[in-house]
């Protein structure tokens, strides 16, 4: 069964008299273990879609179903809890906390979720090893390369074992070789854990390596 389903999602931005219909009945389903690329021109609504699918924003109409659960009737608190349990986010910029080491950055969401400190540390070290950073755990973000920072950000995003990962231009800030390394690490993680990922990217070569590619056309999602 799919881990994420979008049904007839509508989203309109209004500014004074003007109305911009960014999403007009978008439909989509994501299966566990699937890596899907979202490739669309700037302004097509990729970030809007990820924020709605990731329960950060509500659509004007339509339903986001996460792990079989409809979310439109949930309270903000319930949506936050579901997001915390099931969803991870990676952005173009890593947003790691500079005063903490890589391991500590990956431990933090686990500690917030109530995990025991030694358990959180064990998991953080395991994730960093999976992502190819076995010897960078004690480094602070400024002591890591751009690609290493993004891999730590991915480890942090999946620290609480979410079943869905959303990434918005995760390699937008990196050179080609580094982008490939980050993607390789991400793929490995997806295949090892059964995580489902929806990744917005302008990088067509990386998109070509993913299981499926979708785009936004006139506010609808279409397979390419
Ligand atoms: N809060 C907002 N208020 C008004 N308009 C908005 C708002 N957020 C986004 N938009 C507009 O909606 C459209 C879609 O924006 P969105 O950020 O989703 O596009 P995108 O595909 O992610 O673009 P990019 O690739 O440049 O990041 C754009 O035209 C944008 O200007």
Q: pLDDT tens digits for 68-96?
A: 999 999 999 999 999 999 999 999 888 99
Tell me the backbone φ, ψ of residue 139, rounded to 5 degrees. -75, 145
Give the mean pLDDT of 126-150: 93
Position 63 scores a pLDDT of: 98
With a 6 Å cutoff on the Cβ, whether 22 touches ligand 1 is yes
Buried b (16+ CB within 10 A) or exposed e, 3-22: bbbbbebbbeeeeeeeeeeb
With a cut of 90, say whether residue 164 has pLDDT above it. yes
From the CA of 15, give the closest atom in ligand 1.
Answer: 4
Position 105 scores a pLDDT of: 97
Buried b (16+ CB within 10 A) or exposed e, 58-86: bbeebebbbbeeebeebeeeebeebbeeb
With a cut of 90, say whether residue 9 has pLDDT above it. yes
The burial of 186, by beta-carbon neighbours within 10 Å (0-12 exposed, 13-18 middle, 19 or more buried), is given as buried
Q: Quick: pLDDT tens for 188-201.
A: 888 888 999 999 99
Length of the chain: 224
Position 172 scores a pLDDT of: 86
Position 187 scores a pLDDT of: 87
With a 6 Å cutoff on the Cβ, whether 216 touches ligand 1 is no
Position 150 scores a pLDDT of: 93
With a 6 Å cutoff on the Cβ, whether 120 touches ligand 1 is no
Average pLDDT, the chain: 94
Q: How far is Cα 33 from Cα 195, in angstroms, rounded to an integer?
A: 5
CATH fold of 32-58+75-223: Rossmann fold (3.40.50)
ipTM here: 0.94
Question: Ligand 1 atom 4: the closest Cα is on which residue?
Answer: 13
Q: Quick: pLDDT tens for 202-215.
A: 989 889 999 999 99
């Amino acid at each position: 069964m799919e881990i994420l389903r979008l049904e007839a999602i509508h989203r309109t931005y209004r500014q004074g008299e003007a109305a911009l219909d960014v999403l007009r009945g978008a439909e989509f389903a994501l299966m566990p273990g699937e890596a899907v690329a979202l490739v669309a021109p700037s302004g097509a609504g990729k970030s809007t879609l990820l924020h709605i699918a990731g329960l950060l924003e509500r659509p004007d109409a339509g339903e986001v179903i996460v792990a079989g659960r409809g979310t439109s009737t949930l309270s903000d608190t319930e949506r936050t809890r579901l997001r915390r349990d099931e969803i991870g986010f990676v952005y173009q910029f890593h947003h790691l906390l500079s005063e903490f080491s890589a391991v500590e950055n990956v431990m933090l969401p686990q500690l917030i979720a109530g995990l025991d400190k030694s358990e959180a540390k064990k998991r953080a070290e395991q994730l960093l090893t999976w992502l190819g950073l076995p010897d960078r755990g004690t480094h602070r973000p400024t002591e890591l390369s751009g690609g290493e920072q993004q891999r730590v950000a991915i480890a942090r995003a999946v620290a609480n074992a979410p079943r869905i990962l959303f990434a918005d231009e995760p390699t937008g800030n990196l050179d080609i070789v580094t982008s490939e390394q980050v993607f390789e690490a991400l793929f490995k993680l997806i295949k090892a854990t059964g995580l489902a990922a929806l990744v917005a990217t302008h990088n067509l070569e990386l998109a070509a390596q993913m299981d499926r590619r979708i785009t936004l056309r006139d506010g609808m999602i279409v397979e390419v």
